[in-house]
């Protein structure tokens, strides 16, 4: 049982490039989430999904897009990367009203 | 909107000391969940405990204990006889029972346990 798997673990992007952070879970969880963690800060919610085909914005959605075509996968797309998007990104999943399980994170640097 | 405050940015203790991490929350909702997560130096997030707003019983799990007080909107976490392996960042978080159960995190407390 892999849990929540995020790829890649590390990535360096140039300003203006685009990329997709992958997240997949094998626990058949309905809910999935993307958070970002800036140095010395707590995690902030970017987007979340309560089921396949349903997504909604969190606290800091600007500059990001998501899709949820299957229960297992919840990719996060960065368009036109900016230095302000340098962060550690965490994907999480859960059943309704159950604790969230987190992936190991993707460390992204934009130079 | 919800808010979680962890006023202690960093705490340093000597091994075997007891340490309490403070968490104060704000919400207008009457039903919610409170959480503690641990983030060791390796970076992953480890779930420690969840309490719902109707259950104010304190909980003890080994060297860990949690004190939930609705009257002061606090959910404090105590580690008894701390060990070097407890060194980590600890996050308190809150979620409502609806709306996708989104987590609102505090800014975390860095705990350093030294020999």
Tens-place pLDDT, residues A11-69: 999 999 999 999 999 999 999 999 999 988 889 999 999 999 999 999 999 999 999 99
Residues forming a β-bridge with B79 = B19, B64
**Probe site for chain A from B1, B3, B45 (most A CB atoms < 10 A):** B45
Report whether pLDDT(A1) > 90.
no
A48 and B102 in contact by Cβ < 8 A? yes
Q: Which of A12, A29, A10, A18 is nearest to A89 (CA)?
A: A10
| Coil vs helix vs strand at A20 | strand
Residue of A42, A60, A101, A107 to mutate, testing the B interface (most B Cβ within 10 Å of its Cβ):
A42
pLDDT at position A40 = 80
Contact state of B105 with A42 under an 8 Å Cβ cutoff = yes
Asked if A43 lies within 8 A of B105 by C-beta distance, the reply is yes
Instruction: Determine the pLDDT at residue A56.
Output: 96
Which residue among A31, A56, A104 sits closest to B43, beta carbon to beta carbon?
A104
Q: In whole angstroms, how far apart are CA A20 and each of A17, A66, A78, A108, B109?
A: 11, 9, 6, 11, 31
End-to-end CA distance of chain A: 36
> What pLDDT does B97 receive?
84
Average pLDDT of chain B to the nearest whole number: 94
The two counts, helices (H) then strands (E), for chain B are 0, 12
Is A42 close to B101, i.e. CB distance below 8 A?
no
Q: Is A40 on the interface with B (CB under 8 A)?
A: yes
Question: Residue B99: what pLDDT?
Answer: 78
Q: Which residues of A fall within a CB distance of 8 Å from B106? A: 42
Name the residue among A42, A96, A100 with its Cβ closest to that of B108: A42
């Amino acid at each position: 049982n892999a849990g929540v798997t995020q790829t890649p673990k590390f990535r360096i992007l140039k300003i203006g490039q685009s990329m997709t952070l992958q997240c997949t879970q094998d626990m058949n969880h309905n809910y999935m989430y993307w958070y970002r963690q800036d140095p010395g800060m707590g995690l902030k919610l970017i987007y979340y999904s309560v089921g396949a085909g349903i997504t909604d914005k969190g606290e800091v959605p600007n500059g990001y897009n998501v899709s949820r075509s299957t229960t297992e996968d919840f990719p996060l797309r960065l368009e036109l990367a900016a230095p302000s998007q340098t962060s550690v990104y965490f994907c999480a999943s859960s059943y309704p009203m159950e604790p969230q399980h987190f992936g190991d994170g993707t460390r992204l640097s934009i130079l | 909107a919800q808010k979680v405050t962890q006023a202690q940015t960093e705490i340093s203790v000597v091994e075997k000391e007891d340490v309490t991490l403070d968490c104060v929350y704000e919400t207008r909702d009457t039903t919610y969940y409170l959480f503690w997560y641990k983030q060791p130096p390796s970076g992953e997030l480890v779930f420690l405990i969840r309490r719902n707003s109707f259950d104010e019983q304190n909980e003890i799990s080994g060297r860990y204990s949690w004190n939930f007080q609705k009257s002061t909107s606090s959910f404090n976490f105590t580690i008894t006889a701390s060990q070097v392996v407890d060194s980590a960042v600890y996050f308190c978080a809150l979620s409502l029972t609806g709306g996708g159960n989104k987590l609102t995190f505090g800014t975390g407390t860095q705990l350093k346990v030294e020999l």
